[in-house]
Amino acid sequence: MTPAFKQYGVRDLKRNPKNPGGGKRYDEQELRHLGKSLRQRQWMPIIVKEPEMYVLDGNRRLAAAQLGGIDTLSGIPVMHELTPAEINRLIAQLDIRHQPFSEIARGKLWLAIREENSWTNVQLAEDLGVSASLLTKVFGNLENSEEIQQMVEDGGLSLRDGYYLSRIEDVTERLRLAHEIAAGKVKAESVAGLLRKQKAPDNNGSPPARVSRITCPLPSGVTVTISGHDLSLDDAIKAAGELLKEMKKASQENLDGKTFSAVCARKAKTEGDVP
C-alpha cells in the first residue's frame, strides 16, 4: 500500500526526543548544501509521528530546512511510534517509488531489512514487491570491494556488471575486469563466460566429471538424491548446503515435509536464473 503524503510546516515540526541521536549537532556547511538540494527537489519525505509532530526519520533534512529558511517539507504521517525495522521497511517502499538511493545504499537497506526480519530473499522480494533475481544482483554487488562498489555508484558499471564481477573468485582479477568494463575494453557479457571457467582443472588437466544425478544411500536407510544439469561434486555440496539451511528455517517455522517441498518449488520458480 502506498503511504499517504502531506505537507508540513517546518515551524511545526520537532526532533524526536526518543531518538538516541536526537541531540547530535550537524555540520553547518553540509546542512546548507542539503538545504539547496531540498529547494530544488525533496527526494525523500520525512516520517512524522502525529499528533506530537516528532520527526521519526529525516531530522537532518529538518535541520537543513530550518537553517535554510524552507517553509514546508513533504512527509508521511504515522500514528504510532515505529521501530527502526519498521522505519527501514517504510523507507524501502518510498525508495522503490521515488528511486532516490544509489544501488549500493539501496542494497544495504534491503540487506538490513532481510536480517532484521530473518527473511529469505523470496520473503523479502514479496514484501518489497520486487523480483528475487533483482535481490540476487543487488546483494551480489555488496560482496565486491569498495572500489568496485564506488564504480557502480558513479555509473561506470551497471548493477548487472557488478553482479557478474562478484562471482569472479579471484578478487585481483575481479578488479582488473571492473576497470576493463568501465573503460569499454571488455563487454560484461564476456565476463559471464569466464564464470564457467573458474573451476581449476585437476593435476592431469582434465575437468571434474559431471553427471545429471548423484544418489547417496545412507546407513540410516534414507537415500538422498541430487539431480540437475552437468553436476559436479562441488555443485552437489553447494546445493546440499543451501537445502540444509532452508530446511532448518522451515523446521523453526514448524513446516511439514509436504509444505516445505511446495515452498521450495515456488522459490525455484520465483527466483530462477538471474537474466
In this predicted model, what pLDDT tens digit does every residue of 84-138 receive, in sequence order? 888 888 878 777 666 666 788 788 888 888 887 788 888 888 888 888 888 888 8
Q: Is the dihedral of CA 2, 4, 9, 10 positive or negative?
A: negative
Among residues of the chain, what percentage have pLDDT more than 70? 81
Q: Which H or E run contains 108?
A: helix 103-117
CA atoms of 64 and 35, how far apart (whole Å): 5
CA atoms of 113 and 73, how far apart (whole Å): 26
φ, ψ (nearest 5 deg) of residue 141: -60, -30
**219 Cβ neighbours under 8 A, 6+ residues apart:** none
Q: What is residue 274's predicted lDDT score, i.e. its pLDDT?
A: 43
User: How far from chain centre, in Å, is Cα 107?
Assistant: 3
**Which pLDDT tens digit goes with each residue over 186-222?**
776 666 666 655 544 545 555 566 788 888 888 888 8
